[in-house]
Amino acid sequence: MNKVVNKVMNGGGWFTFIRSSISSQIASWIDMGTSFVFFAFVFAALDPFYRSNLSVAVGAVVGGIVNCCINYRFTFHAQGQSVQAVAVKYALVWVGSLLLNMYGTTGVATLLSHWQWLLDIGFKPDGIFAAARLFASLVVSLAWNFVLQRNFVYRPSRFDRYAIAFVSAFTPKHRKPSDKQ
């Protein structure tokens, strides 16, 4: 039994994909729940374009933070990687994911809202948004997030030194007590 648990927790290949799927599901449910709450309640009075995009953006921020933390330790076991480099690389992939999710959701929702037969069978704007959000999320998760996280974000690369330099340029330098004047 311990051998199986160890393989699932630390194995590569399909086991990495399974761990990534678990992390993605946790983050996605948090992301989507947040998106739905903001769409239905917080941004309900906004124009549909802004309502959709802003709801997706807020959900993506919350879900992205959760996903990065889980992936760093559990999915890709990246504890030996520079946190600064991982943060910058994750942010780059996350921004791409955010844009793909925002405009993918809005584009699919706009397309579906013009299909009269969906309206005739009882689909409402909230249902169309939910279907579009789920579709865009699934496509982006598999074709963008997993591939780039596995092969770029949580692995050392030549880009890491630039990412670390970027973070260092915007963070205060810590001085040793002996450096004080």
Position 6 scores a pLDDT of 78
DSSP line for 24-68: HHHHHHHHHHHHHHIIIIITTTS-HHHHHHHHHHHHHHHHHHHHH
pLDDT digits (tens, 9 = 90+) for 94-123: 999 889 999 999 999 999 999 999 888 998
**pTM score above 0.95:** no
In a domain, 175, yes or no: no
Position 2 scores a pLDDT of 82
Position 180 scores a pLDDT of 52
Position 1 scores a pLDDT of 76
Domain count, the chain: 1
In a domain, 6, yes or no: yes
At which residue do the structure tokens 């890491």 appear?
Answer: 160
Position 178 scores a pLDDT of 60
In a domain, 181, yes or no: no
Position 177 scores a pLDDT of 61
Q: How many C-beta atoms surround the C-beta of residue 83 within 10 A?
A: 12
In a domain, 32, yes or no: yes
d(CA 116, CA 112): 8
In a domain, 24, yes or no: yes
* pLDDT < 50 positions in the chain: 181
Burial classification of residue 77, based on how many CB atoms lie within 10 Å of its CB (0-12 exposed, 13-18 middle, 19 or more buried): middle
- Domain span at residue 91 reads 2-168
In a domain, 78, yes or no: yes
Position 175 scores a pLDDT of 62
In a domain, 89, yes or no: yes
